[in-house]
Amino acid sequence: MNFSRTQTLEEIAQIINCEFIGDASFAIKGINEIHVVEKGDIVFVDHPKYYDKALNSAATIILINKKVDCPEGKALLISDDPFRDFNKITKHFNPFIASKVSISESAIIGEGTVIQPNVFVGNNVSIGKNCVIHPNVTIYDETIIGNNVTIHANTVLGADAFYYKKRPEGYDKLISGGRVVLEDNVDLGASCTIDKGVSGDTTIKKGTKIDNQVHVGHDTVIGEKCLIASQTGIAGCVIIEDEVTIWGQVGTNSGITIGKGAIILGQTGVTKSVVGGKSYFGTPIEESREKLKQLAGLKRLLKEK
């Protein structure tokens, strides 16, 4: 999530009322999670297990709960609760703005696009040309939709990420400040749910077609010309490369990659990253030919008994 203007280290420290290490005028352009950080970003870390990963990431400002040696060319924000303060920064620069109308006045809707009754279009949404948005679709703030996109009834774009920190009093939610981006020629079936990124974009690229009742988690990137069948659940921070086919009732772990041209057969649990150009089946996932051989062998053993 980029700020509308560059901030300084001192300005951010004042917002969250914390100590800093580094030049007070150090430039900060935004905040991001560890897997998408860039130079000029803030990343937060609140567990010693991940200190080195955060300190050595592309982020140049680390929001951390312990004083440590600051890497050269970087800065630290010292907080007793980085999770809480990351939320403060998100709310400060991307506050929730309640809508008073069904289609926001700040929304941009392209020529030839049809918006059916009972559609909600939030603030700063952009919808391209020649799209069809069917009844009861909900499009949250900041969503970007390309040209020639079809979205069927009851689909929701931009709900919050499912991301919580367990505390003694219950679960604390990490506030989502990212977006959903649909590129050109994407089709979404009925009752799909595409969550926004925590700080970046959940992206569905050109020409991908998604069936009914599919869930896509936060910060996931789905490549070009993919086919995803109904009742598939894709976790957060997944990378699905181009021309992948996923059949019905597939589920994935978070943070995995499915390689270009892979085929994931129905009811498979994608528990790890898999290379492209192959067919997969089962839980835990294996190449489909090998998994089917195993099942056939097990069936023979049972018959022999």
**222 has which bridge partners?**
204, 240
DSSP 129-156: TT-EE-TT-EE-TT-EE-SS-EE-TT-E
**Residue 136: which of 152, 112, 149 has the closest Cα?**
152
Q: How far apart are CA 36 and CA 31, in angstroms?
A: 10
The single residue of 134, 152, 215, 218 carrying the catalytic annotation is 218
Q: How far apart are CA 31 and CA 177, in angstroms?
A: 9
Residue 183 near residue 127 (C-beta atoms within 8 A): no
DSSP 1-34: -EEEEEEEHHHHHHHHT-EEES-TT-EEEEE--T
Catalytic, 218? Answer yes
Residues annotated as catalytic (active site), given as ranges: 218
